[in-house]
Amino acid sequence: MTPTPWSAYDHPLRSRLLLGTAGYPSPEVLGQAIAASGTQVVTVGLKRSLGAGAADNGFIAGVRAAVRDHGARLLPNTAGCRSAREAITLAQLARELYDTRWIKLEVIGDELTLQPDPWETLTAAEALVRDGFEVFPYCTEDLVSCRRLLDVGCRVLMPWGAPIGSGQGLINPWALRTLRARLPDVPLIVDAGIGAPSHAVQALELGFDAVLLNSAVAKAGDPVRMAAAMAQAVAAGRLGWEAGLIATQDLASASTPVDGRPFVLP
């Protein structure tokens, strides 16, 4: 049994795992991890793509080959940008380089936590939407900030679970649960902070549509096995959500009937 399909900007998707491409031991391992994960969306950092030596070391060619061979869709990102102007310029370059209107928008406001800057992100998102981009903004779990991004035309949101690369999992599940409840019809993807399959399960059990992760797979002892584990975790979490989780409570509730009948008959 598999979870129900979903969509991002009207593009149908089966997999609820989005995978990054940075930090893998080799392009070959990256390709194997993509295959093991079953992902249909792969992100790539534009600054790394355009950086010195990227073409020489085979990074761009490796990403292109991995995406092509496994039928995944490319989601360029503006990781490393510190201003709306910089992110807009990089997004425009991405559209030319990769021939896609999809862009994962990242504008960082703090060097230590890599927390997104809500004001610069909003400014960039509004400009990019006007320019015809389909924007996936990296944001916090703040409900009001998320609503402002929707107001300017974003149709998918990517709130963080924890600081990028920290592996802490979901540090504010209450806020994420609230976000899901208040925005029931918006595709929500937990981005950043996922470090273990159990974190991915939790995100999907909260009702989120997908998770995006990179370090948890790329830096694992065996990236290919970890990619497969994450795929199973995401599927399990979503199936649990779709099945309907029982409500938590403080006191015990007997699971065995006490009236002598194994089933309650109508």
Kindly name the residue from 95, 104, 199, 238 that is annotated as catalytic. 104
Tell me the C-alpha distance between 133 and 146, whole Å: 18
Cβ atoms of residues 231 and 36 within 8 Å: yes
Going by DSSP bridges, is the β-strand pair 6-8/11-13 parallel, antiparallel, or unpaired? Answer: antiparallel
The amino acid present at 206, given as its one-letter code, is L
Residue 104 annotated as catalytic: yes
- Which residues are part of a known binding site for 1-deoxy-D-xylulose 5-phosphate? 165, 192-193, 214-215
Q: What is the phi-psi region of residue 80: left when phi exceeds 0, alpha when psi lies from -120 to 50, beta otherwise?
A: left
Q: Which residues are annotated as a binding site?
A: 165, 192-193, 214-215
CA distances from 67 to 34, 40, 199, 257, 258 (A): 8, 9, 26, 53, 57
Q: Which long-range contacts (CB under 8 A, 24 or more apart) does 90-98 make?
A: 90/46, 90/47, 91/46, 91/124, 91/128, 91/133, 92/131, 93/46, 93/50, 94/46, 95/133, 97/46, 97/49, 97/50, 98/44, 98/74
Catalytic residue annotation: 104
